[in-house]
Each structure stands twice: as structure tokens, then as C-alpha cells.
Amino acid sequence: AQRVTQPEKLLSVFKGAPVELKCNYSYSGSPELFWYVQYSRQRLQLLLRHISRESIKGFTADLNKGETSFHLKKPFAQEEDSAMYYCALSGQGGSGGSNYKLTFGKGTLLTVNP
Amino acid sequence: NAGVTQTPKFRILKIGQSMTLQCAQDMNHNYMYWYRQDPGMGLKLIYYSVGAGITDKGEVPNGYNVSRSTTEDFPLRLELAAPSQTSVYFCASREGAKGYTFGSGTRLTVV
């Protein structure tokens, strides 16, 4: 079974401070990890995929297979980063669509204070 | 290219009523998914489809039905609405190794 754990429901930081949103996962095969962001009452938007290894809006995330983690980091938080962040996991192919199902963590609400 | 379109955006239902949440995508994606989002619970998969004519249950399918007669459309049906189905519903599509595209959501309240 695949599982994603985001241990923090709420995270509050001040503008300019570093931020780290934690994500741990459980999966028996080779997972694909994502971070999605949801601004107030909007649709989910893809922030990062571990495969692409890029930095979006100053955020980065590294897949650590030894620790089964995919923590999201940003060195200097901005007020516009305030949003709900979801870590999600998907299998990498295989038969049918079941391996492409996204399993979400429960989300972390990030608040960046001025 | 509109992506994933969901209608309606908002709906209030009375207990026992039925409705269909519409989802359409114009990207020719084979894989489509329905999720519900509840506060503090993240998103849970209701049903998914790997192509026209093929659907399967997700994590929380009870009280819902789906059909996939075309590649573009993946409607979600609620037959007898219950207060526990008050939620925000998101439809998504994906093609192979590419990322998911989500719709803007349908906010449903059952009273």
C-alpha cells in the first residue's frame, strides 16, 4: 500500500525565514513524488515533481530514498507563499491506471507572517 | 486548450436528491480521476478510469457511480445524497508519465 505522511498540519513562519515542509512516504516500488500547492479556494497546482529536479518559485525538494522523504524547502519565505501544500505519491507506470493513482498526504497549511 | 473543466462550481442538495458532477478534458488523456477533499483529510480517490469504457473504484467509492463513455468526459453521479458527501470534489486527468491536471473543483453541500 502507498502512504504519504505530512506530520505538520500547520506551519507558521515569518517573512524571510527559511521554511521546510516535511513529507515521508511508504511505497514498495519506485515512486514518483509531487508537491502540489492550493491557494485559498483555488484548484491544486503542481509545484514540483522529483523527476524534473527543478526549482519553482524558489522551492526545491529532494527525494531521499534512504529516509523515504521528500521535504519541500525554501530559504526565504514570502507572504505570497501562504497556502495549503500537499505532498503526493504515484507509482511509475505498470499495468492499467492503478500505478498512476495519486495518494495525497493530509496537507500542511503554511502561513507566512509579515 | 481548456484543460480540465468541472461543472457546476457550487451546488446545494437536499438529503436524498441526486446529481451528476460533470468533468471534461480536451487533452486526450486516457487516465481520469475523481477526488474529494475534506478539511484536515487531504484528497481521497473516489473512482478512476484508464480509458473509455473502463472504470474502477478508488479509496472511497461508496455512494458514488461513474461512467466513461468517451475519452473526454468522466461524470460522477451521486444517487442519494447524504450529509457525509458534503465536500469539495476535484476531477483530474493524466497521460502516462506526465503530471496531473486538476479541475477547479465543485463545492457540494448536502443539507
Asked if A105 and B42 come within 8 Å (Cβ–Cβ), the reply is yes
Given a cut of 90, whether residue B100 has pLDDT beyond it is no
- A71-91 pLDDT, tens digit per residue, is 999 999 999 999 999 999 987
pLDDT at A100 over 60: yes
Give the nearest partner residue to B105 out of A9, A43, A51, using CB atoms.
Answer: A43
Give the model's confidence band at B1: pLDDT under 50 very low, under 70 low, under 90 confident, else very high: low
The DSSP letter of residue B79 is S
Instruction: Classify the C-alpha dihedral B45-A61-B101-B55 as positive or negative.
Output: negative
Looking up residue A9, the CATH number of its domain turns out to be 2.60.40.10
Q: Which tens digits make up the pLDDT trace of B18-59?
A: 999 999 999 999 999 999 999 888 899 999 998 999 999 999
According to the model, what pLDDT value does residue A76 have?
A: 96
pLDDT value at position A94? 54
Burial of A76 (0-12, 13-18, 19+ CB in 10 A): exposed
* Order of all β-strands in the sheet with A19-21: A19-21, A72-74, A60-61
Residue A101: per-residue pLDDT: 81
Residue A23: what pLDDT? 97
Res A92: pLDDT: 64
Interface check A11 vs B, CB under 8 A? no
Q: Does A51 score more than 70 pLDDT? A: yes
pLDDT at A16: 97
Q: Which three cell numbers stand for residue B4?
A: 480540465
Mean pLDDT of the region A29-34: 86
Does any CB of chain B come closer than 8 Å to the CB of residue A64? no
- Domain range for A51 is 3-113
The closest alpha carbon to B22, from B79, B56, B80, B67, belongs to B67
* B42/A104 CB distance under 8 A: yes
Q: How many domains are contained in chain A?
A: 1
Per-residue pLDDT tens digits for B50-97: 899 999 999 999 999 999 999 999 999 998 999 999 999 999 998 766
The whole-number pLDDT of residue B14 equals 96
**B25 near A CB under 8 A:** no
**B68 in reach of chain A (CB within 8 A):** no
Name every chain B residue with its beta carbon within 8 A of the beta carbon of A46.
99-100
Residues in chain B: 111
Query: How close, in Å, is residue B42 to chain A by CA atoms?
Result: 4
